[in-house]
Amino acid sequence: MQSYQHIMQVLKSVPYEHFSVRIMRIQPFIIPLRKTNGVLPICNIRLVTKKPSYLPLPPVNDKSLGAELKRRRLALEWTQHRCSKYFDVRKDSYQRWEWNQRIPTIEKRKRINEFLEFNFWDDGTNSLANRVVLYRIEHGITRAELELISNVSRSSIERLEKGQGSISNSIRFKIEMTIT
């Protein structure tokens, strides 16, 4: 009985803004005669804590995908686990998106736009590169699938989307005809 009173005294000395103590069942400790190897018997005490604060939010000037995902998740008061279920990915995959370590696949980007309530990948221009990315997101197709549809090589589509190198007029025409 003395061990129980000691534990309660220690718990009551901790400020209540950190947690509260709920005694589930008052039951004296029964210390067995054999050696316990440092393990205390079960004491039926539940510690109840406040919901942790996930602040601070990402900086306002941070417009990365990870920052936008985290802002929206916290506005909805969702956990990373719940977001991962929403996007049908593993939790560590979602965390990598939020930490800007990975970019979601094209199949997930449409769902991300619905979650964010705006099109993250739309840069506001009417450039061919932007229209190709938006077309692929809207239709959920990969570069390989667009290659088959447009008869333009995957590397040319990638160069166009990333703005690397020049694209011939014939390739531009084929892509324009495909996405319009």
Could you give the domains of the chain? 2-49 (no CATH), 53-116 (1.10.260), 121-180 (1.10.260.40)
* pLDDT attached to residue 36: 53
* pLDDT attached to residue 165: 80
d(CA 6, CA 136): 65
Query: 45 Cβ partners below 8 Å, 6+ apart?
Result: 7, 11, 21, 22, 23, 24
* pLDDT attached to residue 108: 94
Query: 83 Cβ partners below 8 Å, 6+ apart?
Result: 69, 73, 94, 115
Matching residue, tokens 């990365």? 64
* pLDDT attached to residue 150: 93
* pLDDT attached to residue 166: 86
Whole-model pTM: value is: 0.65
d(CA 164, CA 118): 27
* pLDDT attached to residue 51: 65
> Which stretches of the chain score pLDDT less than 50?
1, 21, 26
pLDDT digits (tens, 9 = 90+) for 69-80: 999 999 998 999
Q: Distance of alpha carbon 129 from its chain centroid, rounded?
A: 27
pLDDT digits (tens, 9 = 90+) for 93-119: 999 999 999 999 999 999 999 999 999
